[in-house]
Structure 1
Amino acid sequence: MDFLPLGLKLAGHTVVVVGGGDTALRKARLLHRAGARLRLVAPQWRAELQALVEREGAGGECHRRAFQDDDLEGARLVVLATDDGALNERVAALCAARGVPVNVVDRPDISSFVFPALIDRDPLFITISSSGVSPVLTRRLRARLEAWLPSRWGRLAGILGRFRAPLARALPDRKAREAFWERQLDGPLVEQVLSGHESEAEAALHAAVAHADQERPPPVDGEVYLVGAGPGDPDLLTFRGLHLLRKADTVLYDRLVAPEILALAREDAELIYVGKARDRHTLPQDNINDLLVHYAREGKKVCRLKGGDPFIFGRGGEELEEVVAAGIPFQVVPGITAASGCAAYAGIPLTHRDHAQSVRFVTGHRKDGSVDLNWAGLVAEQETLVFYMGLVGLREICARLIEHGRAADTPVALVSRGTTDAQEVITGTLDDLADRIEGREIHAPTLIIVGSVVSLHPRYRWFGAADTGGA
């Protein structure tokens, strides 16, 4: 990211605003709400701007003239809201030389900070920024969040803030305090405040804090969350998966989990990579199973984050065996599996009344690496086959299907890095797809879809997906 989002305390500090138009007024209003002492410099300005700067108790200054270098004396921040490009660049350079943060409206390239779109639920606030490149987009996102976030969330934050110090006295241990707040926020407190019953919520919280040191300690064991992260696109993570990811103290993740999803974990969470590729295992499966139990027995909430769905070729059942045997509480959150996600993004319906009345998910290789499958049961014409992990054995898969009766001209699609921005779809038939990809660099993960539904690609492909057709 180009700019680090920060909350800056401005109460009582001088902020210089150069310019007197509508933009200067908008920035000045925001700065005034933050308690800044404004110094306005411009040859002329709107009457509302002067009234804001000189408002009783604000202690601001108005200078009706051109900017002078000494206007920067004592400034904590500078905002340039003028149409004079040369002036903007000169003052921005002065600020850089003096180490004073400066924002030049519509010029993020010479600004040292930008104004994000703000959702104000004082004392709670949320900011959205495009690093200055698309203010219209940030305004739209803010409008959506404004509609979703009730104003009483600020009241809730204020109530919680008032009990921080009393709880710290009752529970000196930070982990114990975090557990206390988790229990409160999972209980009726939030709904009481959001529905306007603040006095009841505050009374209940007061009682809970007063007896916090008398509560039974949490169980020795933690919890395990087996969460499907989906096939690649971070937007396909479920709400439940996100909720548990945000609760986790430790996250064990594999190579198919998008970095954008990992970024949603708590900042203080321990992230442990346990990814596996074909014939290259960072950790043996048994070690991963042991880690889940190990961290849970330390009292931690452990999220095992897996690409796709943990129970569809994700070895989730194996990982839960030791968790169940150890008596550790667990939850399983299904994810959008690669078959449905990749097929949808490639524009290939897995079932269709005119093409396929059933769909079968098949692993492209067995535990020993072979592709010795029940081929005779995989040749029904009206059935779609989806092969996971089948790239290495593609030629043999196609040959065996033909050998056991599937038509050689049956359409086949190979989907590489499905649902991501790098998605590639290569189509062909059982008798020519292996030749089509010979010598090409194909990036894992891949999925192979066999059946006449593939003929609907790219006609059913959604507008944002990549496509290489039969090339």
Structure 2
Amino acid sequence: MDYLPVCLRLQDAPMLLVGGGTVGTRKARLLLRSGARLTVVAPAITAELEQLLAEHSGQWRRAAYTGGDLDGQTLVVAATPDAAVNAGVHRDAVARGLPVNVVDTPALCSFIFPAVIDRNPLLIAVSSSGTSPVLARLVRRKVEAMLPAAYGRLAAFAGRWRERVKTALPNDTARRLFWEQAVEGAIGEQVLAGREAEAEQRMRERLRDGAAGHRGEVYLVGAGPGDPDLMTFKALRLLQSADVVLYDRLVAPAIVDMARRDAERIYVGKARSDHAVPQQAINEQLLTLAQAGKRVVRLKGGDPFIFGRGGEEIALLAQHGIPFQVVPGITAASGAACYAGIPLTHRDHAQSVRFVAGYLKGDRVEHDWRQFTSTTETLVFYMGLMGLPVICRELQAVGRAPDTPVALVERGTTEDQRVLVGTLASIEGIVAREQPRAPTLIIVGDVVRLHRELAWFGEGKKGSEPF
């Protein structure tokens, strides 16, 4: 290890920056954000640096550097284009025992600036030990993308409770377990979700009741239409924190595999006329697991509140006072249509879109079909494969033209995606020949005509038929 990562408290500390160009301005931003009292020595500085110094009560000495500029300073940065000046700053600082950084010259640095991920008071520094700042910034961006902005709020929350927890739990092991459960569990999720008042109440209960006060929580998570890359960061974070994961057949196996390795996995899949677990039993299972203190993720294909019966599953939890969160997901209509190259709305073809339940109820697809006559509205039928003959017949019966374009997107956004394209008059024959399997989405409307020119996904054109 070439450098020891440390965090310096620089509030109101006097610091010197030699050089006022673009590079010096970047360093000044960082130093001023840390609360330093900054003095800049340079014959000229950028307009931005001059503005920063004015905003933060910094000083600019319009002159060339001399050794006396180091008097009273605690830290110095050299950022001039003159190598001789930079070397002189380094020599003078070392002689006085001052930490010094010469920008882009690691050999003359007693400290370096890492790439910083700022979730104040939580800070993460990424450093290449001065060898590749670009690589350090790349790693920072990757880590930053995975780290919710609200983690700073969680760190501040923990800081406010630190002494109270230490007093209530003097034993180091007990205190560590408490914090692990709090930060990774329901309390932490409440803070991240902006529900700090609830988190405060939960902390008081936990400290008062100890382990007996631990309650579980349920996270109703939209897993998207199939491609694991379409899951949100929040969905992934909750999935990887869960003790138990309930999933059904609409959730891709690759997504289930992203759960914590030691999490319990429970299949509650349902298919047409074959409910592996009745809906009421699923609702009660979520309640029972949460009451046992488990963190439970209920994975739902697509979005939980769009034909996902998510409202039914959380209703029982709400009645019993179980904390829950609902995490939206990319709904099948959006994901499958995008991967198939079919825009659901388009200025020249459709000005609105309607999501419609296409499944059979009592061997009937029950709708007021007169609502679906507009040629400038895209219709998307969920779970409509078995009801396709009824859909095609009824739409034509209320006036939709037989040559109205129709697309079936089978297993949308996955490697097995297939798109079958026809018309209201021809699509039944195409389906009889191609035998697509669920889950399949049906898109009706002129936007389907754009499929051939806009489809990009590898399997997007497989099985397509002319209009």
- Is 1:333 the counterpart of 2:327? The answer is yes
Deviations 1:164-220 (A, max 9, x none): xx99953459964631453798799xxxxxxxxxxxxxxxxxxxxxxxx96653644
Q: Structure 2 CA distance, aligned partners of 1:186 and 1:279?
A: 37
Residue in 1 aligned with 2:280? 286
Q: Distance in 2 between matches of 1:369 and 1:178?
A: 52
Native 8 Å contact 1:415 1:447 kept in 2: yes
- Counterpart of 1:450, as a letter, is V
Structure 2 residue aligned with 1:453: 447
Aligned AA (2:265): L
Q: Partner amino acid for 2:465?
A: G
Q: What code does the residue aligned with 1:178 have?
A: E
Opposite residue 342 of structure 1, the aligned amino acid is: A
1:470 counterpart = 2:433: no
Which SS does the other structure have where 1:437 is aligned?
helix
Change (3 A) 1:440 1:141: farther
Cα gap change, 1:185 to 1:227, in 2 (>3 Å): closer
Match of residue 237 from structure 2: 243
Tell me the SS of whatever aligns to 2:389.
helix
Gap change, CA 1:369 and 1:333, over 3 Å in 2: farther
C-alpha change, 1:309 and 1:277, in structure 2 (3 Å) is same
State the match for 2:314 in structure 1. Answer: 320
1:315-394 matches, cutoff 5 A: 315-394=309-388
Q: Is 1:217 aligned to residue 210 of structure 2?
A: yes
Question: 1:141: Cα distance to partner?
Answer: 11
The Cα offsets for residues 374-397 of structure 1, whole Å up to 9 and x where unpaired, read as 111111111100001111111121
Is contact 1:221–1:300 with CA below 8 Å preserved after alignment? Answer: yes
Q: Distance in 2 between matches of 1:141 and 1:228?
A: 34
Name the SS of the counterpart of 1:462 in structure 2: coil
Question: 1:396/1:187 Cα in 2 relative to 1: closer, same or farther (>3 Å)?
Answer: closer
Q: Supply the distance in 1 between the matched residues of 2:433 and 2:458 (Cα, whole angstroms).
A: 28
> Cα distance, 1:437 vs. partner?
1.8
Matches within 5 A, 1:15-164: 144-145=138-139, 147-149=141-143
**Cα shift at 1:299:** 1.1
Equivalent-residue separation in structure 2 for 1:299 and 1:310 (angstroms): 23
For 1:379 and 1:187, locate their aligned partners in 2 and report how far apart those are by CA, in whole Å. 45
After superposition, the Cα gap between the structure-2 partners of 1:449 and 1:179, relative to the gap in structure 1 and judged at 3 Å, is same
Structure 1, 409-418 or 435-444: larger mean CA deviation: 435-444
- C-alpha spacing 1:442/1:366, structure 2 compared with 1 (3 Å): closer
2:180 to 160, 178, 181: 178
Report deviation, 1:234: 0.5
The verdict on how the C-alpha distance between 1:141 and 1:379 changes in structure 2, with shifts beyond 3 A counting, is farther
The whole-number CA distance in structure 2 between the counterparts of 1:187 and 1:388 is 33
Range with greater deviation from structure 2 (215-224 or 312-321): 215-224
Task: Please give the per-residue CA displacement for 1:448-468, whole angstroms capped at 9, x wherever unaligned.
Answer: 000000000121112545312
Structure 2: how far apart are the matches of 1:401 and 1:453?
Answer: 17
Partner residue of 2:421 out of 427, 441, 448: 427
Q: Distance in 2 between matches of 1:281 and 1:145?
A: 46
The one of 293, 299, 304 equivalent to 2:293 is: 299
Q: Alpha carbons of 1:462 and 1:264: their partners in 2 closer, same or farther (altered >3 Å)?
A: same
Assess if the C-alpha contact under 8 Å between 1:364 and 1:388 holds in 2.
yes
Q: Which runs of 4+ in 1 moved over 6 A?
A: 140-143, 183-188
* Change in 2 beyond 3 A, CA 1:298/1:367: farther
Structure 1 CA distance for aligned equivalents of residues 135 and 316 of structure 2: 44
**Cα offsets for 1:83-117 (capped at 9, x unmatched):** xxxxxxxxxxxxxxxxxxxxxxxxxxxxxxxxxxx
Structure 1 residues 389 and 267: CA distance shift in structure 2, 3 A: same
Gap change, CA 1:216 and 1:410, over 3 Å in 2: same
Quote the Cα distance in structure 2 between the aligned partners of 1:143 and 1:464: 33
Does residue 266 of structure 1 match 2:266? no
Taking structure 2 as the reference length, the TM-score comes to 0.59
Q: Distance in 2 between matches of 1:417 and 1:381?
A: 27
Given that residues 220 and 297 in structure 1 are in contact (C-alpha distance below 8 angstroms), is that contact kept between their aligned partners in structure 2? no
Q: For the residues of structure 2 that align with 1:423 and 1:326, how far apart are their CA atoms?
A: 41
| Unpaired segments ≥5 residues, structure 1 | 1-28, 30-123, 125-139, 154-165, 189-212
1:444 and 1:329 map into 2 onto residues whose CA distance is: 33
Residue 180 and residue 321 in structure 1: after superposition, are their counterparts in 2 closer, same or farther (change >3 A)? closer
- Check the 8 A contact 2:419/2:459 in 1, yes or no: no
Task: Write out per-residue CA displacement over residues 120-146 of structure 1, whole angstroms, 9 at most, x where no aligned residue.
Answer: xxxx9xxxxxxxxxxxxxxx9999546
Separation in structure 1 between the aligned mates of residue 190 and residue 253 of structure 2, nearest angstrom:
32
CA contact (8 A) 1:171 1:177 kept: no
**Using the alignment, how far apart are the partners of 2:442 and 2:409 within structure 1?**
6
SS in 1 for 2:249: coil
The runs of 5 or more residues in structure 2 that have no matched partner are: 2-123, 125-133, 148-165, 192-205
Structure 2 letter corresponding to 1:423: Q
Supply the AA of the counterpart residue of 1:217: G
SS of the residue 2:452 aligns to: coil
Partner amino acid, structure 1, of 2:450: L
TM-fit CA distance, 1:321: 1.4
SS in 2 for 1:457: helix
State the distance in 2 between where 1:369 and 1:255 align: 22
Displacement, 1:291?
A: 0.5
Match of 1:416 in 2: 410
CA gap 1:425/1:455 in 2 versus in 1, 3 angstroms? same
Cα distance in 2 between the residues matched to 1:281 and 1:173? 45
Letter in 2 for 1:182: E
In structure 1, C-alpha distance between the alignment counterparts of 2:386 and 2:179, rounded to whole Å:
51
Identical residues among aligned pairs (%): 54
Q: CA 1:463/1:306 → structure 2, altered by over 3 Å: closer, same or farther? A: closer
